[in-house]
Amino acid sequence: MYQPPHFVETRLDILHGLIRAHPLGLLISNGPNGPIANALPFLMDAEPLPHGRLRAHLAKANPQWRSLAEKPDANALVVFQGADSYVTPSWYETKRETGKVVPTWNYAIVQVRGRVRVIDDMDWLAGQIAELTAAHEGKRPQPWQVSDAPDSYIASQIKGIVGIEIDISAIDGKWKVSQNRPVADRLGVAEGLEVDHAPAGAAEMAHLVRQYGGLSE
């Protein structure tokens, strides 16, 4: 990933936080006919140190896991996309001063690399889907639980999936959130995003622009 110094984010708690807030990662690996990519919801574990571990599951009908299982040292890249937003030059004070501005795109993104283990174990899979469900149902007024479904049905569903673990060997974060712009431009972007609520993630991006740009909320 191209990493200009002012966009680099290295704090592990921030990187893990983005993954937990945006857990649908794009799993990318080498297959027999070239790269394979699938979107999967991941669980982020802080252990083992130094970088942590990712856990997920795939359908057994998905050929990606077989290509990973065939290589004991198989490595993968997982990409997690956080908030993103188009940035119009109309928000920049520099536009009014010189006109020397162009559009851009702000985003926060984390890329993870590591060795993949394929796990075909009923107990492991039952624990993984129970934890994944709890992570996303927990804040609902009446959260659904795996135990709400018949045991025989859940068992049949688990037979159709396979798990993966990725011990993270490298984790890179890029927060491109207008921090390279003059202060007046950063403020214009934050205020513009706060007014322009149509784009998904605009409010989250406005917060990041203020946070990384040293602006008050």
Give the pLDDT confidence score for residue 67 in this predicted structure: 94
Q: How far is CA 113 from CA 25, 164, 175, 181, 209, in A?
A: 12, 13, 18, 31, 27
Q: How far is CA 82 from CA 12, 14, 73, in A?
A: 15, 11, 29
Q: Which of 21-25, 47-51, 57-61, 200-204 has the lowest mean pLDDT?
A: 200-204
Q: How far is CA 144 from CA 56, 57, 67, 127, 137, in A?
A: 19, 19, 34, 15, 6
Q: How far is CA 141 from CA 120, 136, 138, 146, 165, in A?
A: 33, 12, 8, 16, 31
pTM of the model: 0.94
Give the pLDDT confidence score for residue 95 in this predicted structure: 93
pLDDT digits (tens, 9 = 90+) for 115-165: 999 999 999 999 999 999 999 999 899 999 999 999 999 999 999 999 999
More confidently predicted of 64 and 216:
64
Could you give the CA distance from residue 181 to residue 191 in angstroms, rounded to a whole number? 14
Q: Which of 5-14, 89-98, 111-120, 199-208 has the lowest mean pLDDT?
A: 199-208
Q: ∠ CA(80), CA(107), CA(171), 5° rounding? A: 40
Tokens describing residue 17: 């936080």
Mean pLDDT of 47-74: 94
Average pLDDT, the chain: 95
Could you give the CA distance from residue 112 to residue 36 in angstroms, rounded to a whole number? 16
- Helix 183-195, helix 202-212: angle, nearest 10: 160
Place 199 in a pLDDT band, splitting at 50, 70 and 90.
low
Give the pLDDT confidence score for residue 71 in this predicted structure: 86
pLDDT digits (tens, 9 = 90+) for 34-45: 999 999 999 999
Task: Give percent above pLDDT 70 in the chain.
Answer: 99
pLDDT digits (tens, 9 = 90+) for 69-110: 998 889 999 999 999 999 999 999 999 999 999 999 999 999
